[in-house]
Structure 1
Amino acid sequence: MNEFLLIFRRDFSAKENQPSPRQLQNSIKHWQDWLGGIAAQKKLARPLQRWDGQGKVVKKGKVVTDGPYVEIKESIGGMIFIWAADYEEAAEIAKGCPVLELGGNVEIRMAETPATSE
């Protein structure tokens, strides 16, 4: 099994793209069910990590700036690590992600295999 990072993003740039409070409340159960299903299959490598809006960006010239930035169109809403055989299986798991119902998307990246000491 490989470890994959699923990054949940949504468009925060326009008010008309925002889900209503009721839609957000209704999505909580779907998130719980989706994550519970992944965990029940023993494919949840690390639990949901909610992005707290804090961070740093290192730019050319070794300049460090604070984030987030209001000028970005999409923002990360959370992420999890899962176990899957390959990208195809990871994509099948991601297809059930509730962020898709809220107009968001899921980015999938394979995690690096940690080096082992000999």
Structure 2
Amino acid sequence: MKEFMFIFIGADYQELGLSPEEIQNLMGKWFAWIDELKAKDLYIEGRPLFPVAKTLRGPSAVVTDGPFTETKDIVGGYFIVKASSLDEAAQLAQGFPDFHLGGSVEVREVMQM
């Protein structure tokens, strides 16, 4: 099996104005998805990320606080999962609980070094 990273992109729950109950409901869906992947021995690891970042760009490595993008979308976290192919990994990513909020998942194979 190969390893794949799911990169979760979407709006911050607070920015969307979700109630504590809505956030709790969504977290339940996240944990259910993780449990499903673990039960199939496909989940390796994953973590949420804080929304604040610093970006270094250019030859001088200029530091910018952020994220500052045209949209409110942020990289909210990642999973590392096992799958036999990119297509299979994309199928596993269908469990992402935030599609209805406009979120997306970027699926990439992890290079072994």
RMSD of aligned C-alpha atoms?
Answer: 1.9
C-alpha distance in 2 between matches for 1:80 and 1:96: 12
1:29-108 correspondence runs (5 A): 29-46=28-45, 48-73=46-71, 74-108=73-107
Moved more, 35-44 or 57-66: 57-66
C-alpha distance in 2 between matches for 1:55 and 1:69: 6
TM-score normalised by structure 2 residue count: 0.83
Report the CA distance shift for 1:89/1:53 in structure 2 as closer, same or farther (over 3 A).
same
Alignment pair present for 1:5 and 2:2: no
Partner of 1:31: helix, strand, or coil? helix
Moved more, 28-37 or 54-63: 54-63
C-alpha distance in 2 between matches for 1:53 and 1:90: 25
Report the CA distance shift for 1:67/1:53 in structure 2 as closer, same or farther (over 3 A).
farther
Partner of 2:9: helix, strand, or coil? strand
Residues 34-81 of structure 1: CA deviation (Å, up to 9, x unaligned): 0011011111121x2111234432211232414422334120111110
Segments of 5+ residues of structure 2 without an aligned counterpart are none
8 Å contact from structure 2 (residues 51, 67) kept in 1: no
Q: Percent identity?
A: 25
Give, in angstroms, the shift of residue 19 of structure 1. 5.4
TM-score normalised by structure 1 residue count: 0.80
Partner of 1:80: helix, strand, or coil? strand
Q: How many residues align?
A: 109
8 Å contact from structure 2 (residues 90, 107) kept in 1: yes
Aligned residue type for 1:4: F
Aligned residue type for 2:49: W
